[in-house]
Structure 1
Amino acid sequence: MEIIRQQKEIEVFKTTDVLVVGGGPAGIGAAVAAARMGSSVILLEKRGYLGGNITACYVENANYFMAGTPFHSEGIYAEIEKGSKEKYGTDNIRECNPNAFNSEYLKVYLDEFLKDQGVELYFHAFVNETIVEDNKITAVVIQTKKGPLAIKAGVVIDATGDGDVAFGAGVPFEQGRDLDGLCQPGTVGLRFAGADVEMLSGSETDRLKEIGRDFKKRYRAGETGLKCRRQDLPFGRLTKGGQISYVNYACAYGIDPTDLSDVSRGEMECRQYIMEIYRYLKQNYEELRNIEIASIGPEIGFRDSRRIKGQYRLRIDDMRSGKMYDDVIAVYPGFYDMLAPDASMDGDGSLEGGGYEGHIYHPIEKDDSFQIPYRSLIPLNVKNLLTAGRCISADHVAESGIRAISACMLTGQAAGTAAALAVRSGADTDQVNIMELQECLRKQGVNIPYNQNSQNEKLQK
């Protein structure tokens, strides 16, 4: 393999207290929390807008699984959910998720919301390199049209989803399931226009759910003739104007989300699947006879990739048992959803020797919940780095619970608050006063319990 390394001087573009890399839910929560704690904050985003998978992949019905349960949105996520709806309204008429976002309105709202908090935003900023000296990140290098630029920060938060900053810093990571390293499939989102709203909303039941169930039955009977191996067909918003958003079908399997060739194949493959499901729905369901493709998601979205090794690896057994932690920074409903990397929908969804049989899905049961410890946000070997979102330290199945959009924002909110406390005190990220961090989060509207054994102000090694 031929290797070329060009040495060049890099301009220091900015210096800040807290640098957040990634403008999805985790990065938004981190940036807002740190700014409200009085830190100067820069947020870098690779796209031209904020919102992550909500806006790039049309995952607008983010908290649908909380409907009819004792759980509700909290913290900064609840604030955004309420504020965006109040300011820009909603055109969603599906009752199963009344709080679904309109992702186009949300893009505008998030611009305004973060600017109002004093967050300095930079779009189209791709992480190029992480510079580390004496186990501390001294700068993050981004690639721009004018060439590479360096940003220095007291604390860096990796909210990239793929753990790009931590990977660049040399932090060890896991990826995929234990059995074979395979990740869940990648999906390209889709919007239809022209659905018959009168027919879809005239039924006493949710007609889109019925169509999804009918499709699954036909697929399993071998009647569809479609190439995509996704066996079910969830739908998101239905608008007054006949638009169906978040058609969750086009899945590419066997993709490494960090591999250029794989991701390129996945993008093209998913667009072909979109065309086939479009034609199939038009031909087979009267309510969808006149649909047209309104838009195809601008990029493929992934459910998992790198999981950065941290001071505590959250396990699915921890979640199932309701394990409590002295350093809890978030409590989340006991919900997890892991699509089988091999597209199997059969089997009982159980763990067998580190592998999986079928689609592992666990809906919320009563008031079951799980806790996320702060240590899962602290990467190994780097003193001023935190992770947030789906790249925190967890096993593969546990990640399928923490990857939920509002869970990502909760871990981001905790990381941003902790980063601000670390900057204020001059401490490393693993020396933050835990009781102070928890009290700050409670004041921010986050449900942090007073665990029975929580007596230690600092983490026990």
Structure 2
Amino acid sequence: MVKYYHEQANSIPIYDECDILVVGGGAAGHSAAIAAARAGNKNIILLERYGYMGGDATGGYVVMVPNLSWYNKSFVRGLQEEWFTRLEKVPGAILGPGFDEIGNTSPLLIDRWQGINDCVSRLTEVPIRVTRAVYFDPDQLKIEMDKMLLEEKDRIRVYCHCWATKPIMEGNEIKGVIFESKEGRKAIMAKVVIDATGDGDIFSQAGAPYSDSTDGTTRASTMALVFRVAGVDYPAYDRWKRANPAAYDDMVKSLERLAGFPIRPLPTNRDDMVWFNNWLPNRSCIKVKDLTDTEMTVRNVIRDVIEFMRNALPIAFKNAYLYDIAPQTGNRNSRRLKVYIIYIIGR
């Protein structure tokens, strides 16, 4: 039986007012705020619960964006491609084939990129060709996303460390949000509110229809806590993996038995570092216990995983050490707004 505490009515200070309030500074929220400013809107607030922009990309260490091309065509444009264009000017910030390489079938280029996941088409496809995937440094992307906001500082006000918790409703209309902060509970009023929380924290409380169900057998039902390991010789690891596919499969199986869940090392933008992605099944990122268990379960095995890699592959991991752990969990499924989608072809 659920017990309740009845909160007393109280007055909440209005912290600010705006025309457009974007709740959440992840990839979608950051892009929404930038796009609104570039479209001419001058009174925008971007509210973010952490101290940085980028959401899962920077905080969850989703440090690789795959499938950015089809044959020799790049089909990602706009602000996401702008991230990478800007980061190309920062030494060591990104790794991946350039626009002039995608679709190329040159054996030299295939060999150059084959060891970097998703930078070469599947081996079953003929001919094998270079595909565009971008590996980036999450901290460098945080910096660049800040710079993009600062370029619009006359139009966008950014408030970090503010966790929006509740919509302010008048009938069926959202008039603003309530947020929690170190200054206490505050409110922001807005003419338009964009829920970019990633979890539908606002629209789910505003009465909008949504679904959070998922098939427990799919990748979408898994969560992760990514960590990075440095002191690695990734080129040596890649050469071993390509020369010994059966031994690689056995190594992955042994690693997953040790950890208790699927996990494997993947390339980064640096030759001396890998990131360990993982997939803990049957988790929900909107449940407190699942979030807690995911964090503690992964952290509990990190030292064992690194020690295993040192012993299993000293040629590449002899000097491996923990570099850092993602400050956010990696979430693959959450609340999904139910909407009607209309596709207009030929315009």
TM-score class normalised by the smaller sequence: 0.7 to 0.9
Q: Choose which of 324, 334, 347 in structure 2 pairs with 1:295.
A: 324
Rounded Cα–Cα distance in structure 2 between residues aligned with 1:131 and 1:235: 43
User: Which secondary structure state, in structure 2, belongs to the residue aligned with residue 168 of structure 1?
Assistant: coil
Residues 247 and 55 of structure 1: CA distance in aligned 2, closer, same or farther (over 3 Å): same
Residues 208 and 155 of structure 1: CA distance in aligned 2, closer, same or farther (over 3 Å): farther
- CA RMSD after TM alignment: 2.8
Structure with greater strand share of residues: 2
Counterpart position of 2:64: 61
Counterpart position of 2:184: 147
Percent of pairs with identical residues: 28
Counterpart position of 1:172: 209
User: Which secondary structure state, in structure 2, belongs to the residue aligned with residue 264 of structure 1?
Assistant: helix
Question: How much has 1:219 moved relative to structure 2?
Answer: 4.8
Contact 1:45 1:126 (8 Å CA) reproduced? yes
Which amino acid in 1 is paired with 2:261?
R
Contact 1:128 1:148 (8 Å CA) reproduced? no
Question: How much has 1:181 moved relative to structure 2?
Answer: 11
Counterpart position of 1:44: 47
User: Which secondary structure state, in structure 2, belongs to the residue aligned with residue 233 of structure 1?
Assistant: strand
Contact 1:46 1:124 (8 Å CA) reproduced? yes
Task: State the TM-score, normalizing by the size of structure 2.
Answer: 0.80
User: Which secondary structure state, in structure 2, belongs to the residue aligned with residue 252 of structure 1?
Assistant: coil
Question: How much has 1:224 moved relative to structure 2?
Answer: 6.0
Question: How much has 1:252 moved relative to structure 2?
Answer: 2.5
Counterpart position of 1:308: 337
Counterpart position of 1:403: none
Q: Choose which of 84, 89, 111 in structure 2 pairs with 1:86.
A: 89
Describe the superposition over 1:274-317 as per-residue Cα deviations: whole angstroms up to 9, x where unpaired.
333222211111211210001111121101111112234xxxxx
Task: State the TM-score, normalizing by the size of structure 1.
Answer: 0.61
- 1:313-332, aligned counterparts within 5 Å? 325-326=343-344
Counterpart position of 2:4: 3
Contact 1:193 1:292 (8 Å CA) reproduced? yes
- 1:92-107, aligned counterparts within 5 Å? 92=95, 95=113, 96=116, 99-107=134-142
- 1:9-48, aligned counterparts within 5 Å? 9-39=11-41, 40-48=43-51
Question: How much has 1:233 moved relative to structure 2?
Answer: 2.2
The answer on 1:77 being equivalent to 2:77 is no
Q: Which runs of 5+ in 1 are unaligned?
A: 313-323, 327-450, 455-461
Counterpart position of 2:231: 194
Counterpart position of 2:273: 243
Describe the superposition over 1:220-250 as per-residue Cα deviations: whole angstroms up to 9, x where unpaired.
5x686414221x625131514x122x3213x
User: Which secondary structure state, in structure 1, belongs to the residue aligned with residue 36 of structure 2?
Assistant: helix
Describe the superposition over 1:122-179 as per-residue Cα deviations: whole angstroms up to 9, x where unpaired.
1111112111112110110110111111111111111111010101212221113267
Rounded Cα–Cα distance in structure 2 between residues aligned with 1:178 and 1:197: 35
Residues 43 and 170 of structure 1: CA distance in aligned 2, closer, same or farther (over 3 Å): same
Counterpart position of 2:312: 284
Counterpart position of 1:257: 285
Contact 2:25 2:46 (8 Å CA) reproduced? yes
